[in-house]
Amino acid sequence: MSQWQLLILSILVIPSACFGEIIIDHAKQNCRGMNQQHFGNGTIESTKLIKANGEVSEYCELSGVITPEIRFKLRLPTSWNGKFHYYGGGGFNGYIVSANKSAIRQGYASVASDSGHTSFIPNPLSADFARDNESALELFAYKSVPTVMAVAKQIVSQYYKNHITYSYFEGCSNGGREGLTAALKNPDLFDGMVIMAPARQFIASYPFSQRNARLLDMEGARIGKKKLKLFSKKVLAHCDTVANDGLVDGIIANTEACDFNAETLRCAVDEPDDNCFSDAQLAVVKSYTTSIEAAGGLLRYAGFPFHGREADFGQWDIWLYGTPMRWPIVPSLGKKFLNTGVKNLLAKQDNIDVLTWNFENLEYRHQIGNMVALIDRTNSDLSEYVALGGKIIFWQGSSDVAVSERSTTEYYNQLIATLGSDTVKSFTRYYIAPGVNHCFGGVGATQITQLLPALDKWVVENKPPETLIAHDNKKTFSRPLCVYPAYARYKRNGDSKRAENFECATK
């Protein structure tokens, strides 16, 4: 028997388990071999093969740096689908988000970065990186995504010895803002985007948060948990009704029909108790749920809608009042963003009182305008992205306490006003998830892994998504995810935990 025959025979009789070991060894070698390689101004500093488990398939994680200061992680699945996935950040970034297990499980090569600065803790709630570092500020504002893309795509092509077929972006909060920024400034980067709860109005939200914080400093303005629970119950009783959405289930599905009037809770006398709200307490509620304009019209923020989950943990207790709610010395997250934003992006100094900083001062108008242009996203002319065939799925939780549903809906309506409803329908779909918090969580159908497959099918097969199915993380119930302006209305027949017993309605 010849040497070649022996070799062929040995391969044929290798046990399948051993063959699997050979594949794994090859994956390890391929992953390890990327260490210290250079791609343009990017360098891979370390590699690690992550073995498959119940949540994610096997992938190679490459950690690297792009000159001058962007750190990134590129996750490369052993079984690649030929496509690329950019996973956006959150807050002010400064850290690299965890792997998007759903995207990797689907076979996507997925990258994420810190956007050009590293927070000490890390602390994505701090903008101190931008005070004296113009480069870091610009990377955060708009440059990091295209910079990382240029390097990451080179790495992916070399690793798999093949070209990328399609590139997608997916991000929530600041990640959503990053995606919207790319669509406006670098429309050729991505074939499709999933833009969730885009924090597109960092600067515009500051006078809104300032107004809230000022009113909270008034005597008697703070409320306790018991009264906040009463408030949520009143909102649900008014808006979560059979008439509004077909079902009383603690979730306001028809969010735009909720016309709760907080004045109905006003105390009859100036001696408030746990069953009514004082003037000072109502002033805070009204401030948080109404729009504001400032800086001579440069800044406008829509405020937050009532949604009936205001008393849930992580809602008004943490974002508006601070926690514990009766401790004014513990700032709310809204006030924390106000403090870091005004001091580091607008005033550029610490020795100020953010509650008295005057947004109407003409001396500050130029700096405010510069930061709006740099960071905020109000431009609704996506015609270049449309011309290149790009698709966008917008998604927003209705119980989001960090990014207002009204802000996202406002932008979607601005797209229609700018481009026309037919054009907008040709490249976008907008979904509102009732009862879902900021990016995830809440009492609603919070699971959103169906968005990326729907986007891919739209881009590759030209089959636009319509009604999708969402469910809670434990899969105890499901709901239709309806294309805006429709909402999921219970048919009043069948198991209310099953999506097929709902319909997408507009009235």
- Between CA 365 and CA 429 the distance in angstroms is 36
171-206: buried (b, 16+ CB within 10 Å) or exposed (e) per residue? bbbbbbbbbbbbbbbbbebbbbbbbbbbbbbbbbbb
What does the pLDDT read at residue 308? Answer: 96
Which among 131, 147, 150, 151 is positioned nearest to 139, based on CA atoms? 147
Signed CA dihedral, 7, 8, 13, 19: sign only:
positive
What does the pLDDT read at residue 273? Answer: 74
pTM of the model: 0.92
What does the pLDDT read at residue 423? Answer: 98
- Asked whether 445 and 470 are in contact (CB, 8 A), the reply is yes
91-124: buried (b, 16+ CB within 10 Å) or exposed (e) per residue? bbbbbbbebbbbbbbbbbbbbbbbbbbbbeebbb
Q: Retrieve residue 36's tokens.
A: 């210290």
pLDDT digits (tens, 9 = 90+) for 255-300: 989 999 999 999 987 666 778 999 999 999 999 999 999 999 999 9
What does the pLDDT read at residue 120? Answer: 63
- Asked whether 465 and 429 are in contact (CB, 8 A), the reply is yes
Task: Walk me through the domains of the chain, giving residue ranges and CATH numbers.
Answer: 1-26 (no CATH), 33-162 (no CATH), 165-200+380-507 (3.40.50), 205-375 (no CATH)
Signed CA dihedral, 397, 400, 405, 407: sign only:
negative
- Asked whether 448 and 411 are in contact (CB, 8 A), the reply is no
What does the pLDDT read at residue 383? Answer: 98
What does the pLDDT profile of the chain (507 residues) look like in tens digits? 444 343 333 333 333 333 333 344 677 889 999 999 999 999 999 999 999 998 899 999 999 999 988 999 999 999 999 999 999 999 999 999 999 999 999 999 999 999 999 886 656 789 999 999 999 999 999 999 999 999 999 999 999 999 999 999 999 999 999 999 999 999 999 999 999 999 999 999 999 999 999 999 999 998 888 899 999 999 999 999 999 999 999 999 999 899 999 999 999 876 667 789 999 999 999 999 999 999 999 999 999 999 999 999 889 998 999 876 655 555 789 999 999 999 999 999 999 999 999 999 999 999 999 999 999 999 999 999 999 999 999 999 999 999 999 999 999 999 999 999 999 999 999 999 999 999 999 999 998 889 999 999 999 999 999 999 999 888 999 999 999 999 999 999 999 999 999 999 998
